[in-house]
């Protein structure tokens, strides 16, 4: 019997959408890597629901990496409208930090504005770094998801193994 190739695109897109949106929203982005792992686990779950055959570890890796790449693209795009919020939060953090640390440069506000200004080269760099980081954590989430949801047997029961009964258990005790 020939193994049918599963469709990775839709589950990966849904998981990537969850990861990208949740990790781009200010204050929710504190759990950025956890959102990516959760999105990839969701992708693995959706993949296992769409395919009746047992899935392999490679299927989990692939759907996790694709979910991470989709999430990285969505995250990079959504960071554009949330940029002013990130900038304001960073300014408040550095202002309170400058009261305690003397080594912060005096023109830190100008430097922060320069870093926060959106240039095409910085956007492409942010996009690449987001995709790489999200793909890494997506692969981890895909592996976790496939280990939880993807190991189906012929009867539809997951991860159930029969163990041989020890003959000494049936003997009357001393």
Q: At what angle do helices 57-98 and 32-50 cross, to 10 degrees?
A: 160
Of 118, 117, 115, 135, nearest in space to 20 by CA: 135
In angstroms, the CA 28 to CA 16 distance is 16
The whole-number pLDDT of residue 84 equals 83
Q: Is the dihedral of CA 72, 77, 82, 84 positive or negative?
A: positive
In this structure, what token pair is assigned to residue 60? Answer: 């989990």
In this model, does residue 93 exceed pLDDT 90?
Answer: no
String of DSSP letters for 73-136: HHHHHHHHHHHHHHHHHHHHHHHHHHTT-S-S-TTHHHHHHHHHS--HHHHHHHHHHHHHHHHH
The whole-number pLDDT of residue 6 equals 75
With bands split at pLDDT 50, 70 and 90, how would you rate the model's confidence at 89?
Answer: confident
pLDDT, tens digit, 9 for 90 and up, residues 124-147: 998 999 999 999 999 999 999 999
pLDDT, tens digit, 9 for 90 and up, residues 23-46: 998 888 888 789 999 999 999 999
């Amino acid at each position: 019997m020939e193994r049918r190739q599963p469709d990775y695109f839709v589950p990966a897109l849904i998981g990537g959408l969850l990861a990208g949106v949740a990790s781009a929203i200010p204050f929710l982005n504190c759990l950025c890597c956890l959102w990516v792992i959760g999105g990839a686990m969701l992708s693995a779950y959706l993949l296992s629901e769409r395919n009746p055959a047992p899935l392999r570890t490679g299927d989990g890796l692939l759907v996790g990496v694709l979910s991470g790449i989709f999430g990285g693209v969505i995250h990079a795009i959504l960071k554009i409208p949330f940029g002013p919020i990130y900038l304001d939060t960073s300014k408040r953090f550095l202002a309170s930090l400058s009261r305690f640390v003397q080594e912060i440069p005096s023109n830190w506000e100008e430097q922060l504005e320069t870093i926060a200004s959106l240039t095409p080269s910085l956007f492409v760099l942010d996009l690449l770094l987001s995709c790489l980081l999200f793909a890494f954590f997506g692969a981890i989430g895909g592996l976790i998801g496939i280990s939880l949801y993807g190991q189906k047997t012929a009867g539809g029961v997951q991860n159930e193994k029969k163990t041989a009964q020890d003959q000494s258990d049936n003997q009357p005790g001393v």
